[in-house]
């Protein structure tokens, strides 16, 4: 299906005088938002005198004007293209459409944020049946010209005319099969010519129109196609995943072609100034001789490591090394460069800040800080807290016995286990059902991105460490093993074979992107600790940040891990998990079902030693750091058997007209469960409401805390428990809960003959608590925002129900900018928090305020907490290191302006 | 069990110089909070020169000082009592404890707010074995003196010493039985003397101490007992029910006794300046000759109508009429007076503003306004909006055939149907289980109040229209039939017999407090309309109020009723009830279970004509008044069969290993229900979320509205539909919903060839919508606060779950001052509302703002809405008249100060 032809009409929005086009020598790095990353990069290189083929950039503003007018070029744009094209012709000494000395250009997208491979590029534009001959004559290489021509038709057909690439691939395979030809480079000039004819026929058949011969027509339609690609499905998906605004638009770069496929003194490659996987300081990259750029990126041929270029073309390599060093110094960051060598001459086509793995990001930041290339604050900003999270997860247990099926390239580190899936749509669908999958492809292309987003990891059988799969996976922080040549992928039968084992769709296996191993079955994983460069970086962050980092931990093991990760205390120790364990549950159930206080107290007395031991372990593990213990929170029916199972049992027993005692017991339990059952348990009898109705539960818990602290004191271990009351909505709830807590503490203190000085505070998780924080603070020594519940109630959204049913759709459709359970909602929830902080501190100036919802580990949310002036954030132990970094970044970002 | 003896110690809180006591001539009506209602009343009457027995008042401050110090008299109080007592002795010419001319006093409680019968009174204080003889000699009536003495011991024993009244009653019955005596007045002097001896023995036995002989000791302990009675169980219950603060304390009045029981030229009574049941302008009341006040109030003898006093003691009656008129003029309100006639001489003991029925309140207000006794604004304030609600409910259908079992006094109007219950505790317990009960007693006393609060109505076989049952029931606005002498109440067997029918506990019957009828079984009731005096009052309110009053109505019948009650529009028309009807439900279910859009649209097409007809009816009924239609709100599973029932059916069919198609069908439905089932449906897929996922539902509803409006336009009926989007939490939700609505309106307008100008607005019921109201208002022409949901989410309380489980307990225990679902929470929820009003109007100055939660009909909440500057309140049709009045009162209250 052909795309619509280009239309032009005056756009009222912009004055005709607006400058829509910049020659490369006019631009610079600072014009990134107008010229896109690529345009700014080539301009900057041009300005620096580096060898860049000449060209010009059409601005993102032109793109937006085009998109907003529904696909019409803004007034004056085409005239301007023509002028800049003429300048380009002058500079290159060639003319577009000239039959003797034709100018060929590339037309490439380039947005302000790097979106590798997400948008469209057309190479060799300007070729037609006439210029083709000119090129052949000019280069003296008819085969080269024919190859360029067929490539152009293929690319133009796909990108501009919107045809399926398979149409061309099939023709190609046919021709190759007929000639017994393996590599594309073995195709003869004649064959290529026939192929080009066939491609043109295909275009005519599919679109009903001949392939456009007029180079100007080719150019304007290619520009329109690049503009349109901004709103392509895969571009939108990528931006959503990476939180890039959809309103930026893309620039278009029109640049004179240089050819890496003009023989063995030609070539093309991509390279990094440091290793983007490890961060090691050495030029790292790949190239192919006698090839065009697309061959490297698409992974069609497996490229050579850049180091071998030193042997192949020593002078070129030398020149390239110098340029690489210059660019890194210039940009003060690792560069990802594209280059082409045309008959021994080096051209730089692009430079941009390199994407890198988490480990590389950390090493590079620490190294560059040591090299004094960047400042401390810059180093802290160079690593994303999420990358730190990635570093701490998913390494294969070194002690585990694994069966390695194959080894590919370690393209993106980390281990992933999941079910094999062989296409992106299915990967996305299965992930939606909550399954963990690994996407297996021969190679990936931009159409696979949604599947990569959905997958735990990616495995390909072709392509290098700069192939599409590798680059995109690294950007996402997902494990990837690429170019696993011993892997036999059978897409049609949905299976792969490796090491004599067949893995079918749905079979679970493991990849280790750190080592490149493909491993049979699931594998035990271990988490990495904090050491080396990461430790250095985090210590730097610790010196900068203001926010304290606490952890949420309910067990001594978690508490210990939290401390190892640098937590300065426990911000949330839930007490009810202890009730769920098998040896305790019968007592808990007896407590719940008790008809009167005495019975309940007896059951609680049984629970006391368990709970005391739990607290003892956690307090001991934290060795004098504060441990904020939250009193029982969930609704009681959570501790009872499932209602539906009981109903089925009772129905069956009744039906069978037997049962006797068994039926009676089941009926009694069913009745009890029905009594406690709630329509909206999240808003029911839970939190402090439980303790106000059954103070004896609080008394038992507080006694357990106090007795544990007392025992540790005897053992000369410092213990700092603090007690937190959940789900307070009215100050009076807290006042009364606190009275019970204090009475119990006093009682135990008297029994033990010691003094306790235990802080008592409250969760702020009910909107009303935030709205009346001034009153609540009279009774609280600290506030801890429970932002999970606070978000649920502020949005009126039950997370359990919503995430599957409509929240994802809301985010996908842009109704919400992000999932408010991942990133703290800055307008609604944070506004409530800001009332609470302000009014709480007015009432009690030394009020300590923190957050213990899951947002506590999220960098965006931590930035909000810094702006709100909180004292601490508390998150799961694994997120503590990332939070340490995020807190430092937040402080740098907020600086002195602390108003929200 | 004896109460603790009086203790005195210095209270540091108050300076010794504080004036704790006022003689009656020192006080006045303006000192109500210090002297209590009764003290202020007698002081005012004393000041006005009316015949009031001399006395003095101990202030509420003294009471508070006493209570706060844990039951110790504040320093200086007793000395002051002694001084004022001496003055009283001088004034009356008698002395406390004097053996010749003893002063007897009454010691009565009197709080700032009237709490009839709720607290304690001791009469005849000062009597002992010596003064008794003096009194006998002085009055020449030994029988009278003995009767006063035994009454004193009885009362003092009960009130001050805390003994069970039954102890004395039993002795009395014994003596009466032995002597074959029926009336107390038939007891001889000797018998009374023996009775007094027995009473003294009883006191000695029960308390271990002799009955106190020293009048000073009697007095101080009586004062303490009255202080203590402020915190008695029944006083607390009464204050809770009537929202009277617990921190006010009671004053104590010490007054020289006058005796209504000194023969047939003596008597005692209570009377009103106008009829408190009908409002008619005539002296209304009852009296008993030769009796003390307690005889009238307790209903032990059935008293005479006051009119007969004109024959019995014409001069006294004349004097009384004059005083009554003077008092009403003085206080500018109906007075409730207590008087005693001692040997032909009239004494006024108390005057206070009379409690009255709803009907009387309305008539009195309108009449007094017409008489120019009070201003328009005063008239509006004289009627409580809740009283208007009472007027509109619960009249027995005049066309219904009823079987009258008995007729008593029409003591408090309105009809009530419920199960017979014979004691207060059981009434409270059954009401707690949700049962409607009528409390049946021979007579009631303050210990029955909690049962009266719980009951729908009260029936007694003894006592007049000023008996305890009648007064308290009128105060509560509950129907009461009193003094039904043909009723045979058998408390022991828990039944009554009347008209040959036996009604046992639990049997449902009906009382009609408007006519005094006791009726067999349940009876159809009708609601009264607005007419006569009420109409006048409400029209006056309409001229004053600023707030518009809308109604919540979903059917043409409700819409019509709402208009008749004065609604100015429909503020909430729910659209989903229409889905619940039997002929529509199958289509609704088909819509819900549809696997794809086409199927869903087909089902919706079936629903369209139904929904269009629904809207047609409502719009037509409202004849050009606005009708705000809310789009579908509840979660879809509410329209599907019950999950538990399906689970039982499936289990049974599976168990029976039969079923085939039936099982399959049931399984399919169960699966569908489980798919839609939510853990917290209130916070799940409902409201605008439904419409965003399934826009075709909105499209159908909007089409139905538009087509209905269009059809009415053809019929030349003016129709003003407005469309309201529920559960918006983010502005973008509203923007998109609105786009769908507008597109559909446009489409229908095109089809019908007309123009629609339909306002589109949103509910503000999710806290976040209030917090981001500025953004939301960009897309909303009106806001309507859904305060039910807003309260649920702001408090984190699910009303369905909480009211039974902990909310009542919270209110009972004082954790919350009131149920936030009844009265809008002024600190939390109203604060959110105030953000929304302010920021919504900043964004859109002509934004219309109203409320459509149940609070819309509650006077306290309406006052909040006035303060917030809302444009309208919307409530159920029956509450519209009360809301009209409440809105006027709110305006008067708020005046010009409109800040919250």
**Coil/strand/helix, residue A428:** helix
- What are B25-55's pLDDT values in tens digits? 999 888 999 999 889 989 999 998 999 999 9
Contact B793 A767 (CB under 8 A): yes
- What are B621-630's pLDDT values in tens digits? 999 999 999 9
Of the candidates A545, A536, A554, the one whose C-alpha atom is nearest the C-alpha of residue A622 is: A554
Distance from C-alpha of B56 to C-alpha of B33, rounded to nearest angstrom:
15
In this structure, of B12-16, B214-218, B515-519, the range with the lowest mean pLDDT score is B12-16
Provide the chain A residues 775-794 that lie in CB contact (below 8 A) with chain B. 775, 789, 792-794
- What are B140-193's pLDDT values in tens digits? 889 889 989 999 999 999 989 989 888 888 888 888 888 888 777 778 899 999
Among A768, A831, A832, the residue to mutate for chain B (most B Cβ within 10 A): A768
Strands (DSSP E) contained in B322-396 are 335-342, 345-353, 395-396
Contact A681 B679 (CB under 8 A): yes
Let me know: does A848 contact A524? Beta carbons within 8 Å. no
Q: Name the residue in chain A with its Cα closest to that of B775.
A: A827
**Coil/strand/helix, residue B705:** helix
Distance from C-alpha of B805 to C-alpha of A675, rounded to nearest angstrom:
10
The mean pLDDT value of chain A amounts to 89
Interface A-B: count of C-beta contacts within 8 A: 189
Strand-pair category, B250-256 with B55-58: antiparallel
Let me know: does A455 contact A422? Beta carbons within 8 Å. no
Does residue A91 belong to the interface with chain B, where contact is any CB pair within 8 Å? Answer: no
Highest averaged pLDDT of the listed ranges B293-307, B589-603, B865-879: B865-879
Contact A683 B682 (CB under 8 A): yes
Would you tell me how many other CB atoms lie within 10 Å of the CB of residue B565?
Answer: 23
Contact A806 B685 (CB under 8 A): yes
Q: Is the pLDDT of residue B840 over 70?
A: yes
- What are B342-370's pLDDT values in tens digits? 999 999 998 888 988 888 999 999 999 99
Q: Is the pLDDT of residue A75 over 60?
A: yes
Q: Is the pLDDT of residue B24 over 50?
A: yes
Would you tell me how many other CB atoms lie within 10 Å of the CB of residue A656?
Answer: 10
State CA B396 to chain mean position distance: 21
Q: What is the DSSP letter of B804?
A: I
In this structure, of A722-726, A774-778, B370-374, B805-809, the range with the lowest mean pLDDT score is B805-809
Distances in Å between the Cα of A462 and the Cα atoms of A304, A407, A497, B605 are: 13, 12, 15, 54
- What are A835-873's pLDDT values in tens digits? 999 999 999 999 999 999 889 999 999 999 999 999 999
Of the candidates A341, A337, A339, A336, the one whose C-alpha atom is nearest the C-alpha of residue A289 is: A341
Contacts of A774 in chain B (CB under 8 A): none
Q: Is the pLDDT of residue A13 over 70?
A: no
Predicted pLDDT of residue A465: 72
When CB atoms are compared, the residue of A684, A771, A797 closest to B832 is A771
Contact A798 B651 (CB under 8 A): no
Length of chain A: 900
Contact A680 B685 (CB under 8 A): no
A397 vs A230, residue with greater confidence: A230
Predicted pLDDT of residue B432: 84
Q: Is the pLDDT of residue B213 over 80?
A: yes
Q: Is the pLDDT of residue B70 over 80?
A: yes
A14 vs B76, residue with greater confidence: B76
Does residue B827 belong to the interface with chain A, where contact is any CB pair within 8 Å? Answer: yes
Does residue B681 belong to the interface with chain A, where contact is any CB pair within 8 Å? Answer: yes
Would you tell me how many other CB atoms lie within 10 Å of the CB of residue A74?
Answer: 24
Predicted pLDDT of residue B8: 47
State CA B51 to chain mean position distance: 35
Of the candidates A751, A790, A744, the one whose C-alpha atom is nearest the C-alpha of residue A767 is: A790
Q: Which residues contact A758 (CB under 8 A, 6 or more apart)?
A: A705, A706, A709, A721, A722, A723, A745
Q: Burial code of B740-777, b = ≥16 C-beta within 10 A, e = fewer?
A: bbeebbeebbeebeeebebebbbbbbbbbbbbbbbbbb
Predicted pLDDT of residue A475: 62
Distances in Å between the Cα of B37 and the Cα atoms of A712, B297, B324, B415 are: 61, 18, 17, 32
A866 vs chain B: nearest CA distance in angstroms? 21
Distance from C-alpha of B248 to C-alpha of B253, rounded to nearest angstrom:
16
Predicted pLDDT of residue B11: 46
**Coil/strand/helix, residue B607:** helix
Let me know: does B292 contact B261? Beta carbons within 8 Å. yes
Distance from C-alpha of B769 to C-alpha of A124, rounded to nearest angstrom:
54
pLDDT confidence bin for A17, thresholds 50/70/90: low
Q: Which residues lie across from A23 on neighbouring strands?
A: A56
Strands (DSSP E) contained in B611-681 are 626-630
Predicted pLDDT of residue A749: 96
Distance from C-alpha of B676 to C-alpha of A515, rounded to nearest angstrom:
45
Of the candidates B307, B230, B689, B159, the one whose C-alpha atom is nearest the C-alpha of residue A797 is: B689
- Quick one: CA torsion of B515, B519, B523, B527, rounded to 10 degrees? 10
Let me know: does B80 contact B64? Beta carbons within 8 Å. no
Distance from C-alpha of B354 to C-alpha of B331, rounded to nearest angstrom:
11
Q: Name the residue in chain B with its Cα closest to that of A678.
A: B801
- What are A363-372's pLDDT values in tens digits? 999 999 999 9
- What are A513-534's pLDDT values in tens digits? 888 999 999 998 876 667 789 9
B69 vs chain A: nearest CA distance in angstroms? 21
Residue A4 CB burial class (10 angstroms; 0-12, 13-18, ≥19) = exposed
Does residue A54 belong to the interface with chain B, where contact is any CB pair within 8 Å? Answer: no
Q: What percent of chain A has pLDDT over 70?
A: 95
Q: Is the pLDDT of residue A807 over 90?
A: no
Of the candidates B838, B848, B835, the one whose C-alpha atom is nearest the C-alpha of residue B794 is: B835
Distance from C-alpha of A129 to C-alpha of B63, rounded to nearest angstrom:
111
Of the candidates B389, B402, B420, B419, the one whose C-alpha atom is nearest the C-alpha of residue B524 is: B402
Q: What is the DSSP letter of B442?
A: S
Distance from C-alpha of B185 to C-alpha of B261, rounded to nearest angstrom:
10
Distance from C-alpha of A798 to C-alpha of A679, rounded to nearest angstrom:
13
Residue B846 CB burial class (10 angstroms; 0-12, 13-18, ≥19) = exposed
When CB atoms are compared, the residue of A683, A797, A809 closest to B693 is A809
Does residue B838 belong to the interface with chain A, where contact is any CB pair within 8 Å? Answer: no
> SS3 sequence, A24-52?
HHHCCHHHHHHHHHHHHHHHHHHHCCCCC
- What are B168-178's pLDDT values in tens digits? 888 888 888 88
Task: Tell me what the mean pLDDT of segment B67-84 comes to.
Answer: 93
The mean pLDDT value of chain B amounts to 89
When CB atoms are compared, the residue of B766, B796, B800 closest to A727 is B796
Strand-pair category, A72-73 with A345-353: unpaired
pLDDT confidence bin for A477, thresholds 50/70/90: low
Q: In what order do the strands lie in the sheet with A304-305?
A: A304-305, A284-289, A267-272, A335-342, A345-353
Of the candidates A213, A343, A364, the one whose C-alpha atom is nearest the C-alpha of residue A274 is: A364
Q: Which residues contact B825 (CB under 8 A, 6 or more apart)?
A: A768, B791, B794, B795
- What are B644-654's pLDDT values in tens digits? 888 988 888 88
**Coil/strand/helix, residue A862:** helix
Contacts of A795 in chain B (CB under 8 A): 729-730, 766-768
Task: Tell me what the mean pLDDT of segment A192-208 comes to.
Answer: 93
In order, the DSSP letters of B131-188 are HHHHHHHHHT-HHHHHHHHHHHHHHHHHHTT---HHHHHHHHHHHHHHHT--SGGG--
Predicted pLDDT of residue A14: 46
Contact B732 A816 (CB under 8 A): yes
- What are B488-524's pLDDT values in tens digits? 998 888 999 998 899 999 999 999 988 899 999 999 8
- What are A597-655's pLDDT values in tens digits? 889 999 999 999 999 999 999 999 999 999 999 999 988 888 888 888 889 888 888 88
Does residue A704 belong to the interface with chain B, where contact is any CB pair within 8 Å? Answer: no
Q: pTM of whole model > 0.80? A: no
Predicted pLDDT of residue A298: 59
Predicted pLDDT of residue A896: 45
Distance from C-alpha of A275 to C-alpha of A156, rounded to nearest angstrom:
34
Q: What is the DSSP letter of B805?
A: I
Provide the chain A residues 135-174 that lie in CB contact (below 8 A) with chain B. none
Q: Burial code of B332-370, b = ≥16 C-beta within 10 A, e = fewer?
A: ebbbbbbbbbbeeebbbbbbbebbbbbbbbbbbbbbbbe
Length of chain B: 900
pLDDT confidence bin for B527, thresholds 50/70/90: low
Predicted pLDDT of residue B583: 83
Contact A767 B647 (CB under 8 A): no
Would you tell me how many other CB atoms lie within 10 Å of the CB of residue B268?
Answer: 28
Catalytic position from the list B573, B852, B865, B875: B852
Q: Name the residue in chain B with its Cα closest to that of A654.
A: B652
Distance from C-alpha of A613 to C-alpha of A556, rounded to nearest angstrom:
10
> SS3 sequence, B332-352?
CCCEEEEEEEECCEEEEEEEE
Distance from C-alpha of B356 to C-alpha of A611, rounded to nearest angstrom:
59
Q: Is the pLDDT of residue B14 over 50?
A: no
Contact B771 A810 (CB under 8 A): no
């Amino acid at each position: 299906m052909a795309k619509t032809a280009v239309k032009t009409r005056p756009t009222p929005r912009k004055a005709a005088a607006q400058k829509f086009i910049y020659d490369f020598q006019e631009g610079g790095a600072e014009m990134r938002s107008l010229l896109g990353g690529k345009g700014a990069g080539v301009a900057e290189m041009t300005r620096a005198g580096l060898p860049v083929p000449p060209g010009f950039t059409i601005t993102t503003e032109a793109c937006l004007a085009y998109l907003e007018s529904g696909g019409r070029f803004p007034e004056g744009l085409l005239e301007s293209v023509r002028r800049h094209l003429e300048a380009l012709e002058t500079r290159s000494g060639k003319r577009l459409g000239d039959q003797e000395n034709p100018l060929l250009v590339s037309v490439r997208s380039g947005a302000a944020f790097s979106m590798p491979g997400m948008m469209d590029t057309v190479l060799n534009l300007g070729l037609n049946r006439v210029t083709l001959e000119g090129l052949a004559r000019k280069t003296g290489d008819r085969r080269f010209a024919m190859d360029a021509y067929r490539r152009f038709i293929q690319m133009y057909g796909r990108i501009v005319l919107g045809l399926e690439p398979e149409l061309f691939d099939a023709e190609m395979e046919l021709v190759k099969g007929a000639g017994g030809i393996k590599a594309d480079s073995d195709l003869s000039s004649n064959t290529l010519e026939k192929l080009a004819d066939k491609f043109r026929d295909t275009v005519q058949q599919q679109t009903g129109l001949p392939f456009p011969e007029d180079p100007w027509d080719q150019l304007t339609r290619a520009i329109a196609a690049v503009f349109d690609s901004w709103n392509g499905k895969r571009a939108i998906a990528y931006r959503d995943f990476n939180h890039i605004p959809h309103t930026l638009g893309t620039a278009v770069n029109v640049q004179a072609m240089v050819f890496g496929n003009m023989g063995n003194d030609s070539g093309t490659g991509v390279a990094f100034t440091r290793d983007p996987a490890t961060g090691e300081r050495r030029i790292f990259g790949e190239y192919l001789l006698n090839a065009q750029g697309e061959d490297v990126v698409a992974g069609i041929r497996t490229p050579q490591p850049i180091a071998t270029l030193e042997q192949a073309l020593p002078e070129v390599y030398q020149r390239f090394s110098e340029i690489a060093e210059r660019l890194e110094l210039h940009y003060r960051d690792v560069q990802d460069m594209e280059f082409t060598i045309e008959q021994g001459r080096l051209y730089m086509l692009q430079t941009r800040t390199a994407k890198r793995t988490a480990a590389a990001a950390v090493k590079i930041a620490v190294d560059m800080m040591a090299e004094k290339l960047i400042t401390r604050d810059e180093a802290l900003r160079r690593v994303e807290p999420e990358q730190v999270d990635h570093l701490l997860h998913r390494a294969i247990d070194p002690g585990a016995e694994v069966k390695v099926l194959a080894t590919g390239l370690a393209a993106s580190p980390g281990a992933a286990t999941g079910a094999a899936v062989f296409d992106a749509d299915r990967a996305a669908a299965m992930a939606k059902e909550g399954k963990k999958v690994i996407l297996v492809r021969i190679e990936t292309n931009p159409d696979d991105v949604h599947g990569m987003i959905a997958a735990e990891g990616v495995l390909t059988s072709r392509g290098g460490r700069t192939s599409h799969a590798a680059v995109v996976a690294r950007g996402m922080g997902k494990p990837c093993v690429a170019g696993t040549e011993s892997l036999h992928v059978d897409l049609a039968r949905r299976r792969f074979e490796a090491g004599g084992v067949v893995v079918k769709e749905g079979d679970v296996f493991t990849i280790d992107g750190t080592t490149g191993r493909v491993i049979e079955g699931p594998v035990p994983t271990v988490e990495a600790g904090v050491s080396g460069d990461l430790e250095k970086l985090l210590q730097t962050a610790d010196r900068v940040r203001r926010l304290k980092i606490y952890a949420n931990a309910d067990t001594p093991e978690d508490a210990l891990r939290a401390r190892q990760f640098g937590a300065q205390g426990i911000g949330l120790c839930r007490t009810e998990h202890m009730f769920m364990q098998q040896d305790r549950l019968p007592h808990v159930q007896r407590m719940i079902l008790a008809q009167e206080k005495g019975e309940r107290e007896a059951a609680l007395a049984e629970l006391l030693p368990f709970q005391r031991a739990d607290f003892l372990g956690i307090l001991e593990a934290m060795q004098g750091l504060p441990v904020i213990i939250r009193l029982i929170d969930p609704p009681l029916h959570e501790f009872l058997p499932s209602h539906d199972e009981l109903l089925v049992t009772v129905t069956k027993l009744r039906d069978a007209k037997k049962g006797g005692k068994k039926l009676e017991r089941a009926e009694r339990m069913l009745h009890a469960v029905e009594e406690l059952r709630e329509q909206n348990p999240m808003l029911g009898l839970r939190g402090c409401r439980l303790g106000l109705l059954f103070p004896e539960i609080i008394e038992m818990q507080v006694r357990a805390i106090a007795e544990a602290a007392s025992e540790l004191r005897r053992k000369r271990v410092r213990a700092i428990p603090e007690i937190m009351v959940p789900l307070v909505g009215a100050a009076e709830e807290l006042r009364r809960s606190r009275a019970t807590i204090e009475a119990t503490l006093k009682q135990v203190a008297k029994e033990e003959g010691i003094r306790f000085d235990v802080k008592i505070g409250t969760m702020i998780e009910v909107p009303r608590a935030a709205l009346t924080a001034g009153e609540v603070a009279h009774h609280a020594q600290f506030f801890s925002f429970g932002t999970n519940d606070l978000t649920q109630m502020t949005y009126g959204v039950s997370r359990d129900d919503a995430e599957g049913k409509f929240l994802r759709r809301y985010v996908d459709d842009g109704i919400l900018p992000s999932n408010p359970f991942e990133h703290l909602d800055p307008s609604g929830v944070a506004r409530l928090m800001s009332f609470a902080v302000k009014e709480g501190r007015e009432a009690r100036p030394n009020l300590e305020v923190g957050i213990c919802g899951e947002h506590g580990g999220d960098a965006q949310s931590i930035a909000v907490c810094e702006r709100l002036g909180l004292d601490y954030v508390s998150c799961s132990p694994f997120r503590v290191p990332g939070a340490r970094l995020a807190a430092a970044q937040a402080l740098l970002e907020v600086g002195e302006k602390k108003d929200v």
